[in-house]
Structure 1
């Protein structure tokens, strides 16, 4: 007699114990898959924005000849659209009398170890421009200010004769300035 070409498959007959073992294994795989499932689909929570930089911790590029500087005004807002607020500060040197010219500086958080918590990333008005800042605000992603100045050195420092409403808006990696001039006679 010739041996069959197919091996003996007598051991492949399923018994109830085999079905129970298979069902238990499948239940274990399904339970494990349920534990390892990703969370529900949808938007992930964005990281919370950082608080605005503290102007008191910044080093401003002012030459006060030994006198301290004063942060006269400050405002915060997201100027570059990254979701984190910047601080804008109006700063001038302290003076015994009169009103010294102001600088307007945009601050962000320092990045390197050993740097102050806030650092100047843009100067909107240099004190050398001899401007004083009156109305000042950050709103709608822009810096708004009213600048008072002098048309010539002959104008008394008590009575600025130039009045300019200025707006700076971040665009293309720089602050673009737009102005509405309103010159006034003394």
Structure 2
């Protein structure tokens, strides 16, 4: 048998004290790792350092100068609806407006209102001109379109109280303008 050139080292033989020391060291590392935890992971993205512009609320149709001549009486906002009509993420207001006539049925105008750069509301489009002599019913905004039923008169002999022509209408923003169409399935009564 050949003897090694290096004398035997005491630590090369395992003894029970070595196993106790190893077990104590492992237990200490595990105990310390349970106390010292990294920050918990989150699925949220960090905040954007550049704040994005917040969109203003829909413009209020009250107090606007409408392209409507009413003489000594004031204008009345009969109905209003809001929605994003042009897809820019900012809501517009559409208002049905007429003169506050003391009697009779004054014709309606339908106006699209948005905010100018300084935040003031302004009329940007006339969908129904009061000069046409129609009134508006069943007014709403759905899916980016303005929907209304226009009530008019077939002749000047028809009393202004009792419209005899009913015409459904739809306006949608396309190529920089509001295009008018008749909704699918609409019938004139």
Give the TM-score normalised by structure 2: 0.69
Among 74, 84, 109, the alignment partner of 1:78 is: 84
Shift of 1:45: 6.9
User: Which residue is equivalent to 1:123?
Assistant: 126
Unaligned 5+ runs, structure 2: 1-44
Structure 2 contact 168–188 (Cα < 8 Å) conserved? no
Q: Which has the larger radius of gyration?
A: 2
Cα distance in 2 for residues equivalent to 1:158 and 1:67? 20
Cα distance in 2 for residues equivalent to 1:117 and 1:174? 21
Structure 2 contact 81–140 (Cα < 8 Å) conserved? yes
Cα distance in 2 for residues equivalent to 1:86 and 1:138? 10
Among 128, 141, 144, the alignment partner of 1:141 is: 144
Q: Secondary structure at the match of 2:182?
A: strand
Aligned length: 143
Q: Secondary structure at the match of 2:59?
A: coil
1:67 aligns with 2:73: yes
Cα distance in 2 for residues equivalent to 1:63 and 1:108? 21
Structure 1 contact 161–183 (Cα < 8 Å) conserved? no
Structure 2 contact 148–169 (Cα < 8 Å) conserved? yes
Cα distance in 1 for residues equivalent to 2:187 and 2:151? 10
User: Which residue is equivalent to 2:157?
Assistant: 154
1:93 aligns with 2:113: no
Cα distance in 1 for residues equivalent to 2:102 and 2:63? 24
Give the TM-score normalised by structure 1: 0.70
Q: Deviations over 1:85-144 (max 9, x none)?
A: 0000000000111210000000011335xxx82100000000000010011001110100
Cα distance in 2 for residues equivalent to 1:74 and 1:182? 24
User: Which residue is equivalent to 1:174?
Assistant: 177
1:50 aligns with 2:53: no
Unaligned 5+ runs, structure 1: 1-38
Cα distance in 1 for residues equivalent to 2:176 and 2:57? 22
User: Which residue is equivalent to 2:116?
Assistant: 110
CA RMSD of aligned residues (A): 2.3
